[in-house]
Copies of this chain bind each other. A is one copy, B any other.
Amino acid sequence: MTARTAKGQRTRRRIVERAAPVFNTRGYAGSSMSDLVRASGLKKGGLYNHFSGKEELALEAFDHAAALMRERFGSAMEGRDGTLDRLFAVVDAFGSLVEDPPVAGGCPVLNTAVESDDANPVLKERAREAMEVWLRLIGCLVKEGVASGELQPDADPRRTASVVVAALEGALMLSKLHDDPAHMRRTIDHVKEHLGSLTAAGGGGA
């Protein structure tokens, strides 16, 4: 790699890192090219040297934000043994998005999903793929727990994934709207009780 392309890649990366919180707080439609140029610290022409336009930059900023979220879930699970312990680690990592999101503005997948679902098929597809990763993570943990005998045989991976993701994303929205972490705290307590009821010792249903 020449010094010149290395420098170009660093600049491109810096533009993406600085664009991500702009999109995640103002939304795609609410972020103007001037907002993004200002955040990048470059001149307008400088930004167009790296990106064809707002959509290309938004997709890369989304991928960057989604990768930071995956890293957070990954490191939360490190060193955790057992299904319930790993599920709790993921739930707590999600809860941390209320007060300490990796990118300002909360969950980029929720924000992009709600803005794009009726409006922007390209962004919607990207949000859908990222949400699918998060649903599959919960579903796989439940499957593993059933296989190991830690969870009851009738614990349902798909249902558990839908319920856990829906409750936590909804609680994040409520806590941000009301500037009150209590909605997330109460929802986390509920989700953990529900997951506990799926263990072989827990006595609940699927």
Contacts and interface: CB of A to CB of B under 8 A. Distances in A.
Contact of A128 (B117, B127, B177, B193): B177
Interface in A116-175: 117-119, 124, 127-128, 131-132, 135, 158-159, 162-163, 165-171, 173-174
Contacts of A110: 114, 173
Given A162-B174, A165-B170, A30 B115 contact: yes
Contact of A163 (B117, B159, B186): B186
A117 B173 CA distance: 9
Interface residues of A, number: 49
Contact of A30 (B111, B119, B158, B186): B119
Q: Chain A contact residues: over half helix, strand or loop, or mixed?
A: helix
- Report which residue of A105, A106, A174, A176 has the largest number of chain B beta carbons within 10 angstroms of its beta carbon: A174
A54 B143 CA distance: 49
B170 A171 contact: yes
A45 B113 CA distance: 35
A117 to B, nearest CB: 4
A131 B189 CA distance: 21
